[in-house]
């Protein structure tokens, strides 16, 4: 199998994102190797040896995606036996020309404790954890958005992703069997925050599968129960004019982006 290396003198997150985005366009499987914090010439030489070993084992030149600020280290990586792609070299010169400014490369600027949105993200993560699964209803005034939906429809992971990636404060509230009654109604605790509500739903078969992995052959995981709960929450969304999204075919990243688009929330981090 052909290898793809992601090399950086920082976290390598940028190299991974760019590289994965490009490789996703091709229906080929790769062995992915991430090498962060390559900051010295000695480390860079070790990377060259690792890339060469990969080449000898597979017989195919590895793809090497790298973002390295240090010129000396970057030059070493550029001499690997792989097919080398430097994202910084590719775009910086044209941006300098367009902006009329010289770039000022610094390591760890993009993903570090010093980038200005760090505190937003930490506060948002703490908020999401404290207000997960309806555990607290006292802090909804501070919420940017409140995700609602049945159990296992994707509320918690989406809340945490929005917090960690974008600094969005997200509470989430689960509708349980006890909430259903004869007809599901919007709980009193949520009525004054209706403008912050965003609903999640999911296909019944998929919900049945997810719940069965947690509580096999229980009423909670039965297809009948899943269908009933989803029918009730979707009726509630429509009746109360609450925007909602079916999470069945979307990744957490896609769901988060769609929620931000539909709500118009301002990202605190890019």
Q: What is the pLDDT of residue 180?
A: 76
What is the model's pLDDT at position 106? 58
Residue whose tokens read 């190797």: 33
Burial letters 7-33, b for 16+ CB under 10 A, else e: bbbbbbebbbebbeeeeeeeeeebeeb
* pLDDT value of position 3: 97
Cα–Cα dist 73/52, whole Å: 17
Of 127, 116, 138, nearest to 192 (Cα)?
A: 138
Per-residue pLDDT of the chain (270 residues; tens, 9 = 90+): 999 999 999 888 889 988 998 999 999 999 999 999 999 999 999 999 999 999 999 999 999 999 998 889 999 999 999 999 998 777 677 777 788 887 665 555 554 445 566 778 888 899 999 999 887 777 899 999 999 999 999 999 999 999 988 899 999 999 987 777 678 999 988 999 999 999 999 999 999 999 999 889 899 999 999 999 999 999 999 999 999 999 999 999 999 999 999 999 987 654
Residues 6+ apart with CB under 8 A from 138: none
Give residue 270's pLDDT.
Answer: 46
Structure tokens at 103: 């770039």
Q: Which pLDDT does position 210 carry in this prediction? A: 95
Is the distance from CB of 255 to CB of 245 less than 8 angstroms?
Answer: yes
- For 101-154, give the DSSP string: ------TT-SSSTTSTTHHHHHHHHHHHHHTGGGS--S-GGG-SEEEEEETTSS
In the prediction, which pLDDT does 112 show? 47
CA gap 189, 193 in Å, rounded:
8
**Two tokens, residue 171:** 């509470």
What's the N-to-C CA distance of the chain in angstroms?
A: 33
pTM attached to this predicted model: 0.71
How buried is residue 228: exposed, middle or buried, by Cβ count under 10 Å (0-12/13-18/19+)?
A: middle
Q: Which residues pair with 3 in a beta bridge?
A: 31
């Amino acid at each position: 199998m052909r290898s793809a290396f992601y090399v950086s003198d920082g976290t390598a997150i940028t190299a991974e994102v760019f590289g994965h985005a490009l490789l996703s366009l091709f229906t080929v499987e790769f062995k992915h190797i991430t090498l962060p914090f390559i900051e010295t010439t000695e480390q860079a030489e070790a990377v060259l040896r690792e890339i060469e070993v990969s080449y000898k084992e597979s017989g195919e030149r590895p793809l090497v995606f790298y973002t390295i600020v240090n010129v000396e280290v970057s030059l070493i990586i550029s001499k690997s036996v792989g097919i080398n792609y430097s994202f910084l070299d590719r775009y910086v010169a044209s941006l300098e020309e367009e902006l009329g400014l010289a770039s000022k490369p610094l390591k760890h600027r993009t993903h570090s404790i010093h980038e200005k949105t760090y505190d937003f993200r930490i506060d948002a993560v703490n908020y999401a954890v404290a207000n997960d699964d309806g555990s607290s209803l006292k802090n909804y005034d501070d919420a940017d958005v409140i995700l609602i939906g049945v159990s296992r429809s994707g509320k918690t992971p989406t809340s945490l992703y929005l917090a960690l990636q974008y600094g969005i404060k997200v509470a989430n509230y689960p509708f349980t069997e006890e909430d259903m009654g004869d007809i599901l109604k919007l709980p009193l605790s949520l009525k004054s925050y209706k403008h912050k509500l965003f609903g999640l739903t999911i296909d019944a078969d998929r919900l049945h599968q997810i719940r069965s992995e947690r509580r096999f052959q229980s009423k909670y995981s039965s297809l009948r129960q899943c269908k009933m709960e989803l029918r009730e929450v979707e009726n509630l969304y429509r009746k109360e004019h609450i925007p909602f999204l079916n999470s069945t075919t979307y990744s957490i990243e896609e769901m988060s982006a769609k929620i931000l688009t539909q709500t118009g929330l301002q990202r605190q981090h890019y």
